[in-house]
Amino acid sequence: MLKICSKPWTNAALSHWPLLAGAVAVIWSIHRALVQSITFDEANSFRTFVQAGRYELWTPFSNNHVLNSLGMRLFYCLFGMSHLSARGPALLGGVVYIAASYWICVLLTRECMLRLPLFVAFIYNPFVMDYLVVARGYGLALGFLTLAVALALRMLLQLEATERQLIGATACVSACAGLSLCANYSFAYANVVLVCALLVCVGLRRPRWRFRARLAF
């Protein structure tokens, strides 16, 4: 007699699906980067701040997303001009975003029935996927901001963390927030609010003023 499984959608059966969804999102982003036409803003940023020379990389201008411009300059020097080299930094930011989003989903729930749709909602939003492809600073900024959120969430969930671990994790969150800010200044509000909220939450967990002073500096 054949046995009919009463629970076919178990955590073990669904555990690999988020990883597959992430891999498909990365492949799809690379494909879009290769075939999608270069927009005016992408071309203008490349010709003005990347191709013109190393001094123009530091020009203070709203169209110059500094961290992304530096990445584009590096890819341009290594691989020459192509769609993929221009959009390489954005794709790297997309990989960071997808990995950090999966990490957040793992921290939030152990149920794969909830983890899979949550992860899909993170990475398959069409507006978000545009940011992960276009040769601008949005992909890197979003990736590092999401990584900072994941690190902050992991730290807050660790109830037995030592003061040294809390300070080290806060420094990592601050570094990711700083990189996100350098990638795109429009993310300044989100990064500043995240770091300030984290400092308040961690400071409330330890009443010692000496620890709070070390945390602030």
Q: What is the pLDDT of residues 159-180, one digit of tens each?
A: 677 777 777 888 899 999 999 9
- Asked if 136 and 41 count as a contact pair (C-beta separation under 8 A), the reply is yes
Measuring CA to CA, which residue among 198, 194, 21 is closest to residue 99?
A: 21
pTM equals 0.86
Burial class (CB in 10 A: 0-12, 13-18, 19+), 209: exposed
- Per-residue pLDDT of 14-51, as tens digits, reads 667 888 899 999 999 999 999 988 888 888 888 888 87
Nearby residues of 11 by Cβ (< 8 Å), 6 or more positions away = 110, 111, 112, 113
